[in-house]
Amino acid sequence: MDIRLMKFLRKPKFFGTNDIKPWHHFLFWSVYFIFNTFRWSFIHNDFLLSLQTNLIGFPIHMFLAYLNAYYLMPRFIYTQKYVQYVIYILLALFVMLLIKYNLTYYLVSKDVMPESSEIIDSLTIGFAVQSMIGEVYVISFFTAIKLTIDWLRESSKLHDLEKRQLKTELRFLRSQVSPHFFFNTLNNIYSLTLEKSDQAPEVILKLSELMRYLLYATKKPRQDLTSEINCIRNYIDLERIRFDDSLKIDMNISGNLDNCSISPMLLIPLIENCFKHGASKNIGEMKIKIDVKIEDGFMDFNVSNSIPNINKEYVYPVKRGGIGLSNVKKRLELGYGKNDYDLQIFEEDKMFNVFLKLKVI
């Protein structure tokens, strides 16, 4: 059993708590009393006798049921004190047996067990065993209902907790764009201002737009695809400053982006990895190709970059499970169904490729 559920069950819960109102108990016992009265009236062919015996028996049923479910089980079963539980439940059954026998004998009928083929006017073993079995049946029935309600309520709480944790984790993952990018961009802006370059205002504007998107878009579970693409463009434009003419970027978009939505900042880590593990490691010309195609409610997103021209022992970090790609995988698992996406990673013609097919409508 789940540890949190055990802790929950071990806490004593009293009448009317945990969203179970007094009228729920009243309704349960009323329906049970009416059903039992009519059932025994048909067995004895005597409605008055059945009513009288049930008026005596039901207070005993209720006392034992509440005693077991709200006191004995929390105190002994949930704390694994089984011997003490058996002793106390048997003692309670025996005391209630004496009360039931005397009340029936003196208030209803000398025959305390009319369902028997012979008259029982004393406290016999047969009467004791049958009465105790009947009480155990009622106790078990009531306790099973209570435990079921407790389990359903706790399951609902755990489900709500998991949903809150999921939202928190998704927000955290959406915020994991490398801080190195911002430091590098600020350094570039500083250099441009020293040179009094005309590019400085444009770069500051793009950085401002990107940061605004990062701060506000990540609070939403979905963002329109057009905004996400604009964010990618701003990101690429800022990275161009670092690499000048050595960086060749080809970006193609086809299809209608209207009414398409996506988990915000889902694609940026894939683009960032091209620069972090591709462009920054490359010697010579660097190529990055980005293709976005919208068709039949799905987006085909393909990003590829040339593999760094360094020693053969170099292993592409993203393929080993870099932070960027791990981030994307985790967010896809948390935010999308299994049939809503397909992620493929492969090398081909000296290019490292990431292909993502994603439901966007």
Q: Structural domain boundaries of the chain? A: 3-172, 176-359
End-to-end CA distance of the chain: 40
Q: At residue 352, what are phi and psi to the nearest 5 degrees? A: -95, 125
pLDDT at 328: 84
Q: Cα dihedral sign for 178, 345, 291, 246? A: positive
Which of 337, 334, 1 lies closest to 155 in space, CA to CA? 1
Band the pLDDT of 42: cuts 50, 70, 90: confident
Residue of 215 and 194 predicted with greater confidence: 194
- How high does pLDDT run on average in the chain? 79
Q: Which residues of 19-49 are buried (b: 16+ CB within 10 A; e: fewer)?
A: ebeeeebeeebeebbeebbeebbeeeeeeeb
Residue 53, C-beta contacts closer than 8 angstroms, at least 6 positions apart: 40, 104, 108
Please give the Cα distance from 275 to 272 (Å, whole number).
5
Which tokens is 53 given?
């015996």
Please give the Cα distance from 111 to 122 (Å, whole number).
8
pLDDT at 294: 94
Please give the Cα distance from 74 to 33 (Å, whole number).
27
Q: In this structure, what is the dihedral angle of CA atoms 223, 227, 228, 232, given to the nearest 10 degrees?
A: -160
Band the pLDDT of 84: cuts 50, 70, 90: very high
pLDDT at 327: 75
Q: Give Cα separations from 143 to 14, 67, 73, 136 (angstroms).
A: 13, 10, 9, 10
pLDDT at 265: 81
Q: 176-359 belongs to which CATH class? A: alpha beta
pLDDT at 325: 78
Q: Which residues of 277-314 are buried (b: 16+ CB within 10 A; e: fewer)?
A: bbbebbeeebbbbbebebeeebbbbbbbbbbbeeeeee
The residue-averaged pLDDT of 266-271 equals 85
Which of 236, 240, 210, 350 lies closest to 290 in space, CA to CA? 236
Which tokens is 88 given?
């106390």
Band the pLDDT of 279: cuts 50, 70, 90: low
119-149: pLDDT as tens digits: 777 888 888 888 888 889 889 988 998 888 8
pLDDT at 122: 82
The residue-averaged pLDDT of 286-315 equals 80
223-246: pLDDT as tens digits: 899 988 988 888 888 888 777 667
Which of 35, 333, 9, 53 lies closest to 152 in space, CA to CA? 9
DSSP-derived secondary structure letter, 115: T
